[in-house]
């Protein structure tokens, strides 16, 4: 059994979308997935990509993915990487694919001169929280994620 991590290519789009839907089901957020395939593909693989994806494969079969993009720390004065989604098929959990994906991110962060990797985890997702702690991640106590979307975003834009 060999785990490989590789950058996604346009031919992976349907696999990535299937992983996103599986992640949404796991997080009990299936009704929140509203992505449009063409627009999503353009944002990943078009002339100005807004995010990147790594694919985890076990013996050449896709078993997981991670979607990320760059952010920037004004305090550090350097970019960072924000991990939006990380998902490994339940049948492949424990294979090392999750850690391999995060290790690949760490390598990318170092190669690109990033100060840090960041992500959010649902507070009820104890298996993920334990896994993240096991690799040295620390929770950012005292910080609350905020969001403006939908009609509130339109109203704020004026």
The residues that are catalytic are 132
Distances (CA, A) of 123 to 82, 126, 130: 18, 7, 11
Q: Which helix (H) or strand (E) holds 70?
A: strand 61-73
- For 24, 84, 128, 151, the CA distances from 94, given in Å and listed in that order, are 20, 21, 12, 41
């Amino acid at each position: 059994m060999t785990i490989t991590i590789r950058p996604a290519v346009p031919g992976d789009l349907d696999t990535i979308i299937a992983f996103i839907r599986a992640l949404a089901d796991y997080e009990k957020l299936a009704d929140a997935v509203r992505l449009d395939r063409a627009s999503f593909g353009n944002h990943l693989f078009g002339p100005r990509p807004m995010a990147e994806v790594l694919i985890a494969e076990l013996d050449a079969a896709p078993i997981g993915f991670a979607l990320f993009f760059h952010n920037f720390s004004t305090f550090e004065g350097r970019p960072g990487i924000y991990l939006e989604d990380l998902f490994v098929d339940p049948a492949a959990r424990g294979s090392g694919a999750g850690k391999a994906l995060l290790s690949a991110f760490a390598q990318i962060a170092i190669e690109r001169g990033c100060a840090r990797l960041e992500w959010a985890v649902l507070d009820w997702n104890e298996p993920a929280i334990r896994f993240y702690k096991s690799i040295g991640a620390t929770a950012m106590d005292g910080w609350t994620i905020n969001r403006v979307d939908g009609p509130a975003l339109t109203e704020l834009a004026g």
